[in-house]
Amino acid sequence: MPTAKPLPDCEGPKLEPFADSIFDLNIKFLGIITTADDGGRKAIVMKARIGRKIYAVKIFQHRSNTIYDFGSDYLQPLTTGDSATDGGPRVAPRPTPEQDKYVLPFFCECRAYGRLKETGREDLAARAHGYLSFVLTEEVRNLFNNAIAEHASPTQGDILSVLGLSGDLALDPVFAIVKDWIDHPPYDDVWDIALAESALYPRMPRNLKALHKLGIVVRDINLGQYVNGVLVDLSSAWTAPHCFGPETGIRLRWEFLSQAAWDLYCFQTQVIDAYNGPYRRMLKKGELLPEVSFRVYSPPEMLGRLRPRPHRQQPYLPLLGNQPWLENQFLTEMPPFDPSRFNWVKAQVGRGRLTAKNINSEPKPTKKRRRKARGLNYGCIRAYTGSTMRG
């Protein structure tokens, strides 16, 4: 049995270890699927055979090479060089060691997958079986290098260069998560993916809203995050409770609500529109994917409307996203669920025996039973005799 402790070491859900040591596994790496540059310098994904099964092993970048995502730009405290007046470059701050447990991509996935396990909803994303922690000794590097040499560029012929590690950093532990391997036929471009997976789209927004109901905001939705309609990347996800959650008072109380709206907005623009856009003229009206009934409008588009709906009354809350083109976008339609309202304490007590339905539901009020009157039922007597009885 594994003796390593679940991670991360903070409040909230955690992910169990897959094995104590990588040498305890009969593992063989079959190739590299994505490099760190393809994944936004967060991780690389390798195909591996462990025993008789095929898995996807996601190896995460070192903390020093990770680009952190703190959320909305205008909420980030930025510095301008050495002083506020020297006109230097804007530099985003690095998180504290305590915040690392909430915003580091590896820990983001550990917390998200831990929540799916404790609530019994592992069907909402690619199933994770646990994490691995190892040091890149020469023996461990040989396990990776044969596969990397076949599928990476000549300049990335070593696992250290792929992960951007050198010097003393090469002796630091490396973390990985073992997930189910989801196979799909090769596609020529992103539009072929959209056409082949169009039948899977109806369930994808339902699963996304179910994640919000469980206190998880993905914060990075696009067509490349799905394989055969299954969400495979949660490295940017925030899971309640969070260091930037409403209970800490650091951020705005409605930030998680706005992040959930951002997920739905990105699903509409980055997934649905990626399919409907190039095929709108070729397909019939009934073959186009339906909208997710969620839109975000700029204030000028709302002008001239008479009697807007109550939930679209001004002033509007801003939409908090991590893209610069979201400037002047406002939250005019609320998402179905507020992730910050998830009862995570009750979920940890259940440990897999609870579901999203009974965690989030309020206790039903008890109905007062009417007390039966004692004595004769005069209504029945009248119906039977056809006469009126007077007392």
Does a structural domain hold residue 296?
A: yes
- What CATH number is associated with residue 200? 1.10.510
- Residue 118 host element (H or E): helix 105-118
Does a structural domain hold residue 379?
A: no
Q: What is the pLDDT of residue 81?
A: 41
Q: What is the pLDDT of residue 150?
A: 73
Task: Give 173's contacts (C-beta < 8 A, 6+ positions apart).
Answer: 133, 134, 135
Does a structural domain hold residue 365?
A: no
Task: Give 290's contacts (C-beta < 8 A, 6+ positions apart).
Answer: 202
Does a structural domain hold residue 202?
A: yes
Does a structural domain hold residue 376?
A: no
Does a structural domain hold residue 189?
A: yes
307-315: long-range contacts at Cβ-Cβ below 8 A with a sequence spacing of 24 or more?
A: none
Q: Are strands 226-227 and 230-231 parallel, antiparallel or unpaired?
A: antiparallel
pLDDT in tens, the chain (391 residues): 456 899 999 999 999 999 878 878 888 888 887 755 444 457 889 999 998 999 999 999 887 767 666 655 434 443 334 444 444 444 456 678 888 899 899 999 999 999 999 999 999 999 999 999 998 888 888 888 887 777 665 556 688 877 878 777 777 889 999 999 998 766 655 566 666 666 777 888 899 999 999 999 999 888 888 888 899 999 999 999 999 888 888 888 888 998 998 898 888 888 877 766 666 656 555 556 666 555 554 444 444 454 555 555 567 777 777 665 555 677 777 888 999 999 998 887 765 444 444 444 444 555 555 655 555 444 444 444 444 444 4
- For residue 80, which of 67, 69, 93, 71 has the smallest C-alpha distance? 93
The DSSP bridge partners found for residue 227 are 230
Q: What is the pLDDT of residue 37?
A: 46
Q: What is the pLDDT of residue 355?
A: 42
Q: For the chain, state the CA radius of gyration.
A: 27
Q: For residue 287, what are the domain limits?
A: 22-77+94-353
The DSSP bridge partners found for residue 57 are 46, 178
Number of domain units in the chain: 1
Q: What is the pTM of this model?
A: 0.78
Q: Is the Cα torsion angle 74, 78, 84, 86 positive or negative in sign?
A: negative
Does a structural domain hold residue 302?
A: yes
Does a structural domain hold residue 86?
A: no
- For residue 160, which of 171, 22, 151 has the smallest C-alpha distance? 171
